[in-house]
Amino acid sequence: MNIVITGGSGDMGKAIISEVKTRFPEATIYEINRNIDKNTDLKGDLSNLLDVYNVSAKLKKLQIDVFINCAGWSEPVPFEDLTVKQINDRVNINFYSPLLFMQAVLPNMKKMHKGVVINISSVTAVTPVPNLHIYSASKRALDSITVSLALEYSKYGIRINGIRPGSVKTRAASLGRSKLGELKGLSDDMYEKEMSRENGYDRLLDPSEVAKMVVFLISDDSSGINGQIINVCGTMEVHS
């Protein structure tokens, strides 16, 4: 099984790779990363669409069974200070790169009549947070495309699902929380406590709790699940 992941150098990405190796030891994992070249030269800065096009061209030549879009960028900025470059960077990383990578890998999956795509979204796509406007909007757009593509490709044996994590203990999240706390006039500790309470567990989630959902969505145990955006967020987002 060939698995490609973006954002594998991040805390959630590392947890996903670790769970995947445990559950599918036979799998070959390729990383799309801006800093390293492992297995292939799938190197690219996902805020740069030229890099995304170059990596997409290479992906088209590979036979990929599972594609995981995990890279993301959420640094908060007050709306009035947002520059066009900051808007473009966020949209490119969180929306355009997953979109263009899916366009690159789906034709081969269609020929193989099998494939799994998992897009890491965010609970903020449905419960937006002040100062994360473009992040929330781009994740919401990703969710929408996830569902549309699942409808289009399910007849080819392909499953495309999304995961919306809540507040997870990772590098990006602690940087983001620190800035969001600052903007709300709260210390890092106070803001982290607030986010933990919102998860409903009085703790941040562990990246492995998201990774276990990824592994489930890759496995045939989830064969009945397609076109779903699944919350892994404690009780941060609930519906009855």
Ligand X SMILES: NC(=O)c1ccc[n+]([C@@H]2O[C@H](COP(=O)([O-])OP(=O)(O)OC[C@H]3O[C@@H](n4cnc5c(N)ncnc54)[C@H](OP(=O)(O)O)[C@@H]3O)[C@@H](O)[C@H]2O)c1
CA-based nearest residue to 198, from 129, 112, 103: 129
- What number of CA atoms fall less than 13 Å from residue 166's CA on the CB side? 23
Helices within 63-206 (DSSP H only): 84-91, 97-112, 133-153, 171-184, 188-199
For residues 165 and 229, is the Cβ–Cβ distance under 8 A? no
Taking the alpha carbons at both ends of the chain, their separation in whole angstroms is 37
158 binds ligand X (CB under 6 A): no
**Which one of 3-11, 99-107, 182-190, 214-222 is the stretch in contact with ligand X (CB under 6 A)?**
3-11
Mask: binding to ligand X, 86-125, rule CB under 6 A, as x and -?
-------x--------------------------x-x---
The verdict on 168 binding ligand X (CB under 6 A) reads yes
167 binds ligand X (CB under 6 A): yes
**Which DSSP category does 92 fall into?**
I
Q: How far is the CB of 94 from ligand X (least distance, A)?
A: 7
The smaller minimum CB distance to ligand X, of residues 106 and 132, is found at 132
Stretch near ligand X under the rule CB under 6 A, chosen from 59-67, 71-79, 107-115, 147-155: 71-79
Contact call for residue 181 and ligand X (CB under 6 A): no
Sheet containing strand 158-165, edge to edge, reads: 28-32, 2-6, 66-69, 115-120, 158-165, 229-232
Q: Which is nearer to ligand X, 55 or 224 (CB)?
A: 55
Number of residues near ligand X (by CB under 6 A): 26
Q: Helix %, strand %, coil % for the chain, to 5?
A: 50, 15, 35
Name the site residues for ligand X (rule: CB under 6 A). Answer: 7, 9-13, 34-35, 45-47, 70-74, 93, 120, 122, 165, 167-168, 170-173
